[in-house]
Chains A and B, each alone.
Chain A
Amino acid sequence: MSLTSRHLLGLHGVPKEDIVKILDSAVSFKEVLDRPIKKVPTLQGKTIVNLFFESSTRTRISFELAQRRLSADIVNFAASTSSLSKGETFKDTARNIEAMKIDMVVVRHQSAGAPHFLSRIVDANIINAGDGRHEHPTQALLDIFTLREKFETLEGLHICIVGDILHSRVALSNIYGLKAMGVNVSVCGPATMIPREIEKLGVDVYHHIDDVIPKVDALNVLRIQLERQEGGLFPSLREYHNYFGVTRDRLDRADKPITILHPGPINRDVELSADVADSEHSVILQQVLNGVAVRMAVLYLLSQSKP
């Protein structure tokens, strides 16, 4: 069993069948995580490099755990400890690492397209762990997996992504993946944080969160990055919370419970109020567990692909 592509660069253009394959495999791998011995020999003898040019804690840990659970050998490379500070280029770094006979590379980078560039210069399978504000495909896959667990079927659900859509790689990957699965997707955020012509991706755009809450089954609430306020895209965290914060009051006005997702880390009482984050309708911690299973599935399926 393998996927259409030997890399996971993004969810743009990935066929539904591939997404379903990943989700189905992740179900099996999640069972592994419930065993007393949480390890399988699937990737024994494979070497994976985690190439992180941008700081990350949870994505890197999640990938690392997934790799360990699959018995892969792993090497971690973080930009701060690397030769990049000595002026080595991305390309030289990548080719040097590959010269050590690497099978797969998980890459996070500030520049959109860096994983695509990498896939042209090295032979290993490439997995995008976040490129600039472009894509973060494994995050979207774990979101979709979590939604499928919760709702059983995805077709016909309505999900709204809330927050800074302009700077979010999570939003784009979610849109591509959810649309492929037949989900109805909306986005909601301040007008300065909605990228131009996004409606052409087939999403509805909202600027008032109270208008969209009654229509949806789940909200995927994005983290507000504090530096965006310094960039002047919104006036204050206070105003953001008052107009876009997902609070108990707002959710109570809907006539059904609304599932809450968040890619983490949460700014409590900014984009999400504490009581919502900890409520029974929040699946935030399931997302974290599912992230390991989904990444195991992606690593396994890509390792099966023909070079």
Chain B
Amino acid sequence: MKPTILKNTHIIDPLQNLDKKADILIENGKITKIATQIQQTKDKTVVDLKGAVVAPGFIDMHVHLREPGYEHKATIATELASAVAGGFVGVACMPNTNPAIDDGSIVCYIKDQSEKTLNGLIDVYPIAAVTVNRDGKQITEMAELSEAGVVGFSDDGNPVGNAHIMRIALEYSKMFNKPIIQHAEEKSLTHDGVMNEGFVSTTLGLPGIPTIAEALMIQRDIMLTVYCGGKYHVAHLSTKLGLELIREAKRNGLPVTCEVTPHHFTLTEEEVRSFDTNTKMHPPLRTQEDVDAMKEGLSDGAIDVIATDHAPHSYDEKQVEYLYAPFGIVGLETAIGLSVSELVKPGVLTLAQMIEKFTVNPRRILNLPQATIKAGENACLTIFNPEEEWTVDIQRLKSKSKNSPFHGRKLFGKPVGVINNGRIMIG
């Protein structure tokens, strides 16, 4: 990367409480100068950002890269391109690959593949399974996996259903200070459910997933955390009931954190009336009351992180009857747009607060080094234009799969580019 001047930027860095308009000089992958005006010289590339926001590099801590095993849905190469297009410099990838990430060799494979992609522009942080083959019976070799570089443990897609196994996992993982990331669902209550249980599922004749299935599991896990410690993080929170439990646990000083997806603070179960299989995800879209609660939780800090649960599925897999379609949608490329449109524009969050939930908080939960914008620091930056309006066109998504319910939706807030690891990708 040649020495580069980012002209006319709007720097927002919540860590330093910084919000100012300036130029940024980057040399050898490091920020060397921040000033109101930086002189242009011939040896430097100049990029005029025309007032776009420059923030510490965003992390999506809940992504399904699908490789190894499900390359027809997505590959590491395609999804890292999607991450860049979405404005992310790092992703944490879930272990429901085939084979599952339950062994150090798979961690190495993923890291190798990632480093080969885009010259290592994107940092990939594998999350290992809590249990071998994610089948809930025996915890994985967490010590070795930690040494191999995983940032947390999750059986995502499945809950850790057995309370004893969850206890063991929380206790054992304490030794490495890594979070257990729970897909909170009490399976004995969800059966064959495909959408939120309530009035809409009743009128559509679709089997329902009750909100208490999420809340019950969170409640159990909080009690376990009180009893035996550990770091507990709730993936893709979707219910008001679950949120209230987390808020209470935080008030009691417990090491409990959580994330919400853009679709869970944007869409309700009403979308399912179309029988469009891109409205089928786990946890399901909930009610307006839950959506409002998610926004409130983001606003008052009960919800720490915005993460996408980016879940590519091939066109054919989703072109089936609603009952048989797989759960999940892609999210990387619409995350910033939905967050600006649904949270910042209506005043739920300030831009600085939104940025915190995309970089400061996920980095803290996963024990990653913080990115910050000052002279001497590595240039690890996400650039986006919160004022730019655009229309989601699924055919233009970089992800290998196009399973998004947001096709045709107008959004404010468009990613402009990322800079990370001495690489730059703008436009």
Give A residues with C-beta under 8 Å from B.
12, 89-91, 109-114, 116-117, 131-135, 169, 172, 195-198, 200-201
Contact = CB atoms under 8 A, between A and B. Distances in A.
Contact of A132 (B205, B208, B320): B205
Contacts of B207: 133
B67 to A, nearest CB: 24
Contacts of A201: 202-203
A113 B204 contact: yes
B321 A200 contact: no
Contacts, number: 63
Interface stretch (B193-201, B330-338, B362-370): B193-201
Given A169-B205, A195-B202, A200-B199, 8 more contacts: A89-B320, A111-B323, A112-B205, A116-B275, A132-B206, A134-B206, A197-B198, A201-B203
Contacts of A131: 205
A76 to B, nearest CB: 20
- Sorting the interface of chain B by its residue count into under 10, 10 to 19, 20 to 34 or 35 or more gives 20 to 34
Contact of B320 (A91, A110, A169): A91
A224 to B, nearest CB: 18
Contact of A112 (B206, B274, B316, B319): B206
A263 to B, nearest CB: 15
A196 B321 contact: no
A201 B200 CA distance: 10
B320 A196 contact: no
B172 interface: no
A117 B206 contact: no
Contacts of B322: 111-114, 117
B324 interface: yes
Given A91-B319, A110-B323, A117-B321, A198 B202 contact: yes
Contacts of A133: 205-207
Given A131-B205, A196-B202, A197-B202, A112 B323 contact: yes
Contacts of B205: 112, 131-135, 169, 172
17 contacts: A109-B321, A110-B321, A111-B322, A112-B204, A112-B205, A113-B206, A113-B321, A114-B322, A117-B320, A132-B323, A172-B205, A195-B202, A196-B199, A196-B201, A198-B202, A200-B199, A201-B202
Contacts of A116: 274-275
Nearest to B322: A113
Contacts of A114: 321-322
A264 to B, nearest CB: 20
Contacts of B324: 111
Interface in B195-223: 197-199, 201-208
A111 B206 CA distance: 8
Interface in B262-296: 274-275
A272 B204 CA distance: 28
B203 A113 contact: no
A110 B322 CA distance: 10
Given A90-B321, A109-B321, A117-B321, A196 B206 contact: no
A116 B203 CA distance: 15
Contacts of A112: 204-206, 275, 322-323
Nearest to B316: A89
A247 to B, nearest CB: 29
B319 A196 contact: no
Interface string B43-70: 0000000000000000000000000000
A116 B197 CA distance: 21
Nearest to B205: A134
A128 B400 CA distance: 34
Contacts of B275: 112-113, 116-117
Nearest to B210: A196
A252 to B, nearest CB: 34
A133 B322 CA distance: 13
10 pairs of A and B residues whose beta carbons are closest in the complex: A134-B205, A113-B275, A111-B321, A111-B323, A197-B199, A195-B202, A133-B205, A113-B322, A112-B205, A116-B275
B198 A196 contact: yes
A117 B275 CA distance: 7
Contacts of A195: 201-202
Contacts of B203: 12, 172, 201
A103 B199 CA distance: 35
- B199, B203, B208 — most chain A CB neighbours (10 Å): B203
B408 to A, nearest CB: 15
Nearest to B206: A112
Nearest to A173: B205
Interface in B307-360: 316, 319-324
- B197, B204, B324 — most chain A CB neighbours (10 Å): B204
Contacts of B274: 116
Contacts of A90: 320-321
Nearest to B208: A196
